[in-house]
Amino acid sequence: MSTLAGQLTKSYNLGVVALTIGGVPLAGGAAEDGLVEFENSSDLFEVTIGATGLPTFSLLNDDLIFATITVMETSLAYLNLGALMQIQIATASLTGVLAPLPYALLDVSTGDTMAAGFAVFMSRPNMNKGRVAQAREFRVALPGAGALSAYGLANII
């Protein structure tokens, strides 16, 4: 960190974000606009308005997070994600059991972390062919990741 005109400035480096699924590192495959985006599967609370007009807030206890992982079709990360997805599909088809694929993310520059005991592939990436190499998106469900996520101190300092 440094100061610029009396203001604290920060830097960010996607290259120091470590992401693994099933113990396989997904380094060096990030697409032009990034590597991973997260989405909660629901709000933290649900509100119900009673007959008197007073709200009751119910905690939903939903720790499921969806991650959209975007990689270049020419990257080793794309090949590895495709192989992990195929293994998970085949295992589920043959045994009826999802293969456990632990998920872990660590952003060294901010200290952000996210983990889940399972990463479940929810969709296959579409194959589009064009003049240049394309980005591919894998959408995975991360059960319990909400409870295992932490914001790094560098985000608030």
Under the banding of pLDDT at 50, 70 and 90, the label for residue 80 is very high
pLDDT at 124: 87
Give pLDDT tens digits for 7-53.
666 666 677 788 889 988 887 777 777 788 889 888 989 999 999 99
Judged against a pLDDT cut of 60, whether residue 76 lies above it is answered with: yes
Write the pLDDT tens digit of every residue in 11-22: 666 777 888 899
Higher pLDDT, 152 or 63: 63
> 143 vs 38, 67, 146, CA distance in Å?
13, 11, 8
Query: Looking at the whole model, is its pTM more than 0.75?
Result: yes
Domain extent listing, the chain: 30-155
DSSP line for 26-93: -TT-BBTTBSEEEEESS-SEEEEE-TTS-EEEEE-----EEEEEEEETTSHHHHHHHHHHHHHHHHHH
- Mean pLDDT of all residues in 125-153: 83
Q: Phi/psi of residue 41, each to 5°?
A: -80, -20
